[in-house]
Amino acid sequence: MRQRRVYIIKDSLTIRALLQALVEQEPRFRVCGLASSAEEALAEMDEARPDIILLDLGLPGMDGLAFMDRMQTEIRDPWFALKVIVVSASTSRHAPICEAAFARGAAACFDMSLASALSADLLTLLRMVAGFERRDEATFGTAVTLPAPPPEEQALGPALRPGPLTLI
């Protein structure tokens, strides 16, 4: 099985290094790029060709939501093959900013203010987004917010509901 490429966009050098070390603990992932700004990341997307982006929202210059808007219209074809996990201290469980990110195609939000205590949840979330595992939001701690399933899948319940993501 091919390794999934993860690109990390976070303005804090310390947090970028923490996320890189965390991702590299899982042999099915490799970090294909690091950026401190959305503009830097946009310049590298064609070469890096990530499968998953860990994206901060509060970036200098262009913020994370604007980055997602640009990715949808300019860079990635097809957009749906690229998964974005928003990693930000402003994405506490079910925060309105998560809905804005989901509207732009984010696969999940992860509350970075809880990252040190919940690093296992972030690795599990990466595996889920990559299609290696199926999980329901209830199996995570309070750091993870997932988009609501479509109404036709809500009636099935989590055990019968198809996974929210497809294999890349």
Which helix (H) or strand (E) element contains residue 96?
A: helix 96-103
Whole-angstrom CA distances from 138 to 31, 52, 145, 147 are 28, 22, 10, 12
User: Which domains, and CATH codes, for the chain?
Assistant: 4-154 (3.40.50.2300)
In tens, the pLDDT along 53-100 reads 999 999 999 999 999 998 877 755 554 578 899 998 877 777 888 889
Taking a C-beta distance cutoff of 8 angstroms, is the pair 123, 135 a contact?
no
Look at residue 98 in the predicted model and tell me its pLDDT. Answer: 87
d(Cα 168, Cα 131) in Å, to the nearest integer?
Answer: 7
